[in-house]
Amino acid sequence: MKKIFLALVGLFSAFSICANDQILLEVENEQISVEEFEYMMNKNNSIQTIERKSVDEYLEMFENYMLKVVEAKSLGIDTLSSIQKELHSYYERFSAPYLCDSVRQKAIYKEVFDHLGEKVDVSHILIRINTADTTFAYTKAKDILDLIEKGNDFNALADKYSEDPSVKNNHGNLGYIMALQTVYPFEKAAYSTPIGKCSLIRTSFGYHIVKVNDRQKTFGKILISNIYKPFGSDENRGKQSIDSVYQRLLNGENAEFLIQTESKEPRVETSKGELGWFHEGEILRDLNTMLVNMVKEGKTFSEPVTSPNGWHILIIKERKANLDYEDELPYIEKRLKNMNDERFRAGQDAYLASIKVEYKLKFYPENLNPFFNASVQSSGVVDSTFEANLKINDAIVFTFADRKYTQQDFLTYLRRHKVSKISDPKARIYSKCIEFANKEILNYEIEKGLRVKNRDYDMLMREFEGATLCYEVSRNEVWDKANSDVEGLKKFYAKNKKNYTWSSPRFKGFLIQCKNDSVANLIKKDLNKQSIDSVMHLVKVINKESRLAIVNWMTVAEGENKLVDALVFGKGKVEPKSGYTIVFTEGKLYKKPQDYTDVRGPLTADYQEYLDKQWIERLRKKYTIKVNTDVLDSFKKSHE
C-alpha cells in the first residue's frame, strides 16, 4: 500500500521557493508557489485538458495533503530516526543520476547514440590479470600484438593464447557487437579502431587485443507485434494452428485482423499484440538474426518460432531506420543508469573533481604518517597489530567547506572499511583516505549543495519527503485506526447497513478437509459448540505432530472457491488437496450480510474514508490556509 500512496501523494509535494516565484498557497508556515503548483498538476495531467472546476478540485486535494504534512511536522514525525533513515536512503538512491558532470554526460549520450546506428564485427584475444602486478599480462598481450602486426594469423594466435573460454568455438571472433552490449573500454575500442586494425586495451576482465573485421549500419529500431499460440496439452494441434495463421498471412490476410482474432496473448485487446520497440542486438541472438534477415529481405512477418510458452509469429509493424537523438535520449539515459558502467562513472568522476575544487578539499598528508608507520608493521589495513602500534590524536587529515576530519575520524572509517586489494602499505593508506574523502564530500553535496544547484532533484526529494510524512501520519490517524477500531467499525456498519448488500448468496461457515474419519468426527463434534475459536484451537491440537486437517472459516460467493462451489452450490467436482480424503462444510447460505465481518474489506475502506474526512475537518480548523486569489485567477485564465 505504501508504494501506491507514495505514487499518489508524490504529486502534492511542496518545493523550495525561488525568489521570483509568486506564492499561490500558504498552509500554516508552508509556502507553495504557482510554478510549483503548475509543475505538480502537469506531472500526471495534460494542462490543456484541465478545466476551471478541476483546478479548484485539485487545489482542495493539495490543501488537504499539505495539512497532513504540516500535522506530521508538528507531531515531530520528520525528526524520528526511522524516518530520517528512510529519507536518507532516498537521497542516496536517487542522487546518482544528478551527480554527473552535465557536459561530460551529454558527450556520453551523444557517443552512445552514434554507436546505436552501427554494428561492428570484432575478434579479440584475452589475457587475464591474475596478480596485483599487471606487468606480466600487459607484456604478454603486447608481444602478441607485435606478432599480429608482423603478419601472423590472428585466428591462430587467438587459438594459442586467448584465455576467453569461447575461443574453442569461435577462434576469437565475437561476431557483430552493438552499443551497450559490452564493457565500455571494449565498445570504445571496437567503434574507434579502423577495419583490419587492432587495438590493445584493458578492461575488468584483463587485457584485450581487439581486431575490427567489418562495420555495417544497424536496422535502427523496429516495433514488433506478435501472434501467439500456447502449446497446450496437444503440441501438434498448436503447431497446426500457428501454421494455419502463417498460411493466411502468406495469402495476404491483414496482420492486424489476425492478431486480434487469432492471438491468444492475454492482453491482446489492449496491447494489439505489440511487444514494443527493439534496437538491433537488443533481443536474443537467434531472434535478432531472424529480424535482421527479415529487414534485408523486406519481409514483414516471420515464420512460426517457439518460446518456452508456445508458438509465435513476429510481425514488423513499424521501422525507424534513421534514429533521432531526441527520441533516443530517454532510452539511452535509462540504459546507462541501469548498467552503471564506466562511461556513466566517468561523468560522476568529473562531477566529483569539480566539487572537490568548489569545496576546496585539502589533505594534510603529514598527519597520515602514524597510519603509514602502523600499517607497515601489520598484515592488513586494520588488525590488532595495527591498532597497537597506532599513535594518533585529533590532528586534521582533510578538510572541505566547513567540515574537518581528524585522525580519529579516519580510524573509525578504516575499522568499517578494512578491505583493500593494494599490497603497498603507504599506497593502501593513501587510497583509503582518498576513498573516505570522496564519500564524505559526495554526502555533503547530496545534503547541502545538490538541491540548491539542481531544481529537478530538489523537487524529486521533496516529493519523497512529503509523501513519507503524509504516509506516516495518515497511517497513524486513519489506516491503522480503521483496521483496529472494532467498535467503530460496528457502529459505522450499523449506521450504513443499507450500503452493504450482496448481488448473490454467500456461503458463510467452515470448509474442512481431513485425512481420516477419526479426525473428521472430532471436528464435527466440536462444531456443535458453534465457536470459531474453539474449532481452530482443536485443529491446532490435532495438527501438533502432523497436519491431519485443513480448516478454513470463510464467507464466499459462487465461483470464489472450487470446493465450496462443488459442495454447496453444486457446481464442478470435489477435488480436495492431495491426501485429504474427507471434505465437508458446516455453515449456511445467506442472501445478505449478517454482521460487519461479512463485508469487512469494503467496510474498512469506507470507514477509512470517513475517518479521513473527519480528520481533514479538524485539521482545517487547527491550521490556517491562505490562497492568493489573484494568482489563482491568473493561473486559471492562462490555462483556459
Residue partners of 524: CB distance under 8 A and separation at least 6: 586
Q: Give residue 29's pLDDT band: very low, low, confident or very high (50, 70, 90).
A: confident
Using CB atoms within 10 A of its CB, is residue 8 exposed (0-12), middle (13-18) or buried (19+)?
Answer: middle
Residue partners of 303: CB distance under 8 A and separation at least 6: 246, 313
The pLDDT, as a whole number, for residue 79 is 94
Tell me: do 483 and 604 sit in the same domain.
yes
Tell me: do 601 and 493 sit in the same domain.
yes
Strands of the sheet containing 206-217, edge to edge, are 173-177, 118-127, 206-217, 198-203
User: Which of 290, 320, 350 is the last residue before a domain boundary?
Assistant: 320
User: What is the share, in percent, of the chain residues with pLDDT greater than 90?
Assistant: 50
* Letter string b/e over residues 86-110, b meaning 16 or more CB atoms within 10 A of that residue's CB: ebeebbeeebebbbbbeebbeebbe
The pLDDT, as a whole number, for residue 232 is 67
Quick: pLDDT tens for 11-21: 344 333 443 46
Tell me: do 616 and 492 sit in the same domain.
yes
Q: Give residue 566's pLDDT band: very low, low, confident or very high (50, 70, 90).
A: very high
478 and 604 Cβ atoms separated by less than 8 Å = no
The pLDDT, as a whole number, for residue 2 is 45
Tell me: do 491 and 517 sit in the same domain.
no
Q: Following CA atoms 469, 472, 477, 478 in sequence, which dihedral angle do they give, to the nearest 10 degrees?
A: 110
The pLDDT, as a whole number, for residue 12 is 40
Q: Following CA atoms 510, 516, 517, 522 in sequence, which dihedral angle do they give, to the nearest 10 degrees?
A: -50
* Letter string b/e over residues 25-45, b meaning 16 or more CB atoms within 10 A of that residue's CB: bebbeebbbbbbbbbbbeeee
pTM: 0.60
Asked if residue 279 belongs to a domain, the reply is yes
Tell me: do 205 and 150 sit in the same domain.
yes
The pLDDT, as a whole number, for residue 128 is 92
The pLDDT, as a whole number, for residue 148 is 94
Per the DSSP assignment, residues forming a β-bridge with 202 are: 207
Q: How many domains does the chain have?
A: 5
| CA quadruple 516, 517, 521, 527: dihedral sign | positive
Could you tell me the CATH number of the domain that includes residue 141? 3.10.50.40
Quick: pLDDT tens for 452-498: 888 888 888 888 898 899 999 999 899 988 888 999 999 999 999 99
How large is the average pLDDT for residues 546-566? 93
Nearest in space to 195 (alpha carbons), one of 176, 214, 177: 214
The pLDDT, as a whole number, for residue 19 is 38
Interatomic CA distance for residues 357 and 9, integer angstroms: 38
The better pLDDT of the pair 598, 285 is held by 598
The pLDDT, as a whole number, for residue 233 is 62
Q: Residue 458 is inside which H or E element, if any? A: helix 455-474
The better pLDDT of the pair 271, 287 is held by 287
What secondary structure does DSSP assign to 256-271, as a single string?
Answer: HHHHHHH---TTHHHH
The pLDDT, as a whole number, for residue 100 is 80
Q: Give residue 129's pLDDT band: very low, low, confident or very high (50, 70, 90).
A: confident
Q: Following CA atoms 372, 374, 380, 381 in sequence, which dihedral angle do they give, to the nearest 10 degrees?
A: -60
398 and 437 Cβ atoms separated by less than 8 Å = yes
Query: Minimum mean pLDDT among 105-109, 145-149, 181-185, 417-421: which range?
Result: 417-421
Q: Residue 591 is inside which H or E element, if any? A: none
Asked if residue 44 belongs to a domain, the reply is yes
Residue partners of 193: CB distance under 8 A and separation at least 6: 199, 210, 211, 212
Q: Give residue 332's pLDDT band: very low, low, confident or very high (50, 70, 90).
A: confident
Could you tell me the CATH number of the domain that includes residue 489? 1.10.4030
Q: Taking the chain, what is the end-to-end CA distance rounded to the nearest angstrom?
A: 36
Interatomic CA distance for residues 326 and 331, integer angstroms: 10
Asked if residue 273 belongs to a domain, the reply is yes
22 and 631 Cβ atoms separated by less than 8 Å = yes
The better pLDDT of the pair 229, 127 is held by 127
16 and 27 Cβ atoms separated by less than 8 Å = no
How large is the average pLDDT for residues 595-613? 92
Interatomic CA distance for residues 213 and 175, integer angstroms: 9
Nearest in space to 101 (alpha carbons), one of 418, 412, 351, 462: 351
User: What is the share, in percent, of the chain residues with pLDDT greater than 70?
Assistant: 92
How large is the average pLDDT for residues 185-204? 94
Domain range for residue 294? 221-320
Which amino acid, one-letter code, is at 69? Answer: V
**Taking 90 as the threshold, does the pLDDT of residue 108 lie above it?**
no
Helix segments in 75-215, DSSP class H: 81-95, 102-116, 135-149, 154-161, 167-170, 184-192
Q: Residue 25 is inside which H or E element, if any? A: strand 23-27
| CA quadruple 112, 113, 116, 122: dihedral sign | negative
The pLDDT, as a whole number, for residue 509 is 92
**Taking 60 as the threshold, does the pLDDT of residue 50 lie above it?**
no
Query: Which of helix, strand or coil describes residue 584?
Result: strand
Tell me: do 508 and 493 sit in the same domain.
no
Asked if residue 312 belongs to a domain, the reply is yes
SS3 labels along 295-364: HHHCCCECCCEECCCEEEEEEEEEEECCCCHHHHHHHHHHHHHHHCCHHHHHHHHHHHHHHHHHCCCEEC
Asked if residue 518 belongs to a domain, the reply is yes
The pLDDT, as a whole number, for residue 481 is 86
Tell me: do 494 and 634 sit in the same domain.
yes
Tell me: do 491 and 636 sit in the same domain.
yes
Strands 305-306 and 310-320: antiparallel
- Torsions phi, psi for 609 (to 5 deg): -65, -40
Q: Give residue 406's pLDDT band: very low, low, confident or very high (50, 70, 90).
A: very high
Instruction: For helices 154-161 and 135-149, give the axis angle rounded to 10 degrees.
Output: 160
The better pLDDT of the pair 287, 541 is held by 541
Instruction: Output Rg (C-alpha) for the chain, integer angstroms.
Output: 34
Grid cell 503447431 is found at 239
Grid cell 498538476 is found at 41
- Mean pLDDT estimate for the chain: 87
Tell me: do 176 and 258 sit in the same domain.
no
Asked if residue 107 belongs to a domain, the reply is no
Q: Give residue 539's pLDDT band: very low, low, confident or very high (50, 70, 90).
A: very high
463 and 13 Cβ atoms separated by less than 8 Å = yes
Q: Other CB atoms closer than 10 Å to residue 158's CB: what's the count?
A: 23
Backbone dihedral region for residue 181 (phi beyond 0: left; psi -120 to 50: alpha; all else: beta): alpha
In 350-505, beta strands by DSSP E: 362-363, 396-400, 403-406
Q: Following CA atoms 366, 370, 372, 374 in sequence, which dihedral angle do they give, to the nearest 10 degrees?
A: 180
Asked if residue 335 belongs to a domain, the reply is no
The pLDDT, as a whole number, for residue 269 is 63
Nearest in space to 532 (alpha carbons), one of 511, 560, 501: 511
Query: Minimum mean pLDDT among 72-86, 156-170, 421-435: which range?
Result: 421-435
Interatomic CA distance for residues 345 and 337, integer angstroms: 10
**Taking 50 as the threshold, does the pLDDT of residue 48 lie above it?**
no
**Taking 90 as the threshold, does the pLDDT of residue 367 lie above it?**
yes
The pLDDT, as a whole number, for residue 357 is 96
The pLDDT, as a whole number, for residue 45 is 58
The pLDDT, as a whole number, for residue 268 is 63
447 and 439 Cβ atoms separated by less than 8 Å = no
Tell me: do 620 and 495 sit in the same domain.
yes
Count Cα neighbours of 450 within 13 Å in the Cβ-side half-sphere: 26
The pLDDT, as a whole number, for residue 437 is 97
The pLDDT, as a whole number, for residue 345 is 75
Tell me how far the alpha carbon of residue 4 is from its chain's centroid: 14
Tell me: do 506 and 579 sit in the same domain.
yes
The pLDDT, as a whole number, for residue 5 is 39
Tell me: do 430 and 466 sit in the same domain.
no
Asked if residue 87 belongs to a domain, the reply is no
Interatomic CA distance for residues 210 and 154, integer angstroms: 10
